[in-house]
Amino acid sequence: MAQDFERTLEQNISNNSGSPTELRAATTTDDAIIGVRCTNTSGTSVNVSVYVENSTTNYFIIKEAPIPTGGSLELIDGGSKVVLMNGDAVKAYASAASSVDIITSVVDTISA
């Protein structure tokens, strides 16, 4: 079976931890997150948090990590993966509005 690579692009993610931006949801299949790049597009340093939500529990990939002005942060690299099971979602929020863009790379449907 061929692998189905996909990506999501999120511009100006939420700055509200109670209403985060959803980066990816595994709605009917299991998926593998193979990359998450967070980029600071603002004029000041900003913090970012990214986590997997499973039911009502959050499992942080990174929490309140600083990104300097004009900088970026690659959360999953070197061949690492984060597996999303059916029903999981990856969500993110930043410490300031209109300050962080995120590109998420995924292998869709890792099991049949």
Which CATH number does the domain housing residue 13 bear? 2.60.120.340
pLDDT, tens digit, 9 for 90 and up, residues 39-81 = 999 999 999 999 999 988 999 999 999 999 999 999 987 788 9
Residue 82 has pLDDT above 80, yes or no: yes
- What contacts 29, CB < 8 A, 6 or more positions away? 86, 108, 109, 110, 111
pLDDT, tens digit, 9 for 90 and up, residues 92-103 = 999 999 999 999
Cα distance between residue 10 and residue 22, in whole Å? 9
State the total domains in the chain: 1
Residue ranges making up the domain that contains 91: 4-108
